[in-house]
Amino acid sequence: MIELIVGAKGTGKTKILMAKANDDIKVTGGNTVYLDINNKHMYELSHRIRLLNVQDYNINSADMFLGFIYGIISQDYDIDKMFLDNFTSITYIDNIERAENLIKELANISEKYEIDFVISLTADKDSLSDYLKEFVTVTL
């Protein structure tokens, strides 16, 4: 499953994403991973959530990001959810069309490995394709 939290920069997407992660970790039987562009929110997330700063891994393209995701999955078969904050920044995507292509790849990964992805995306819901609009659960 893919879930999108969309809105303009500074509207509170990260706070909602963190709250979802902290709520989900209380009821999940598996592991949770939170990917961000920095460690700024380390103390706001449950200690049971694995926070990864993608900048620590020298990721500089969408292809490298996908490889990173596969690497995480290959090392932990018990992942239930992955939270992706600042999606365009952590994936080095500069437009919504590229974001859509990457989200399609994540949807395939989600189906194959039964991992849910919750993504914060800086975008106006009206600017999204019909495909992406299907995944929007929160609009700010």
Give the integer Cα–Cα distance in Å for 128 and 77.
Answer: 32
- The conformational region for residue 33 under phi > 0 = left, psi -120 to 50 = alpha, else beta, is beta
CA-to-CA separations, 32 to 39, 42, 67, 107, in angstroms, rounded? 16, 14, 18, 17
Mean residue pLDDT across the chain: 94
Q: Please report the beta strands in 26-108, taking only residues with DSSP state E, as ranges in sequence order.
A: 31-36, 49-53, 79-84
Give the integer Cα–Cα distance in Å for 76 and 120.
Answer: 23
Instruction: Indicate the pLDDT class of residue 68, thresholds 50, 70 and 90.
Output: very high
The residues pairing with 119 across neighbouring beta strands, listed in sequence order, are 4, 84
Tens of pLDDT, residue by residue over 72-131, are 999 998 999 999 999 999 999 888 888 999 999 999 999 999 999 999 999 999 999 999
Burial grade of 111 (CB within 10 A; 0-12, 13-18, 19 or more): exposed
pTM for the model stands at 0.94
The residues pairing with 92 across neighbouring beta strands, listed in sequence order, are none
Tokens of 21: 């992660």
Domain count, the chain: 1
State the pLDDT at residue 42: 82
Q: Which domain holds residue 131?
A: 2-139
Domain with residue 32: its CATH number is 3.40.50.300
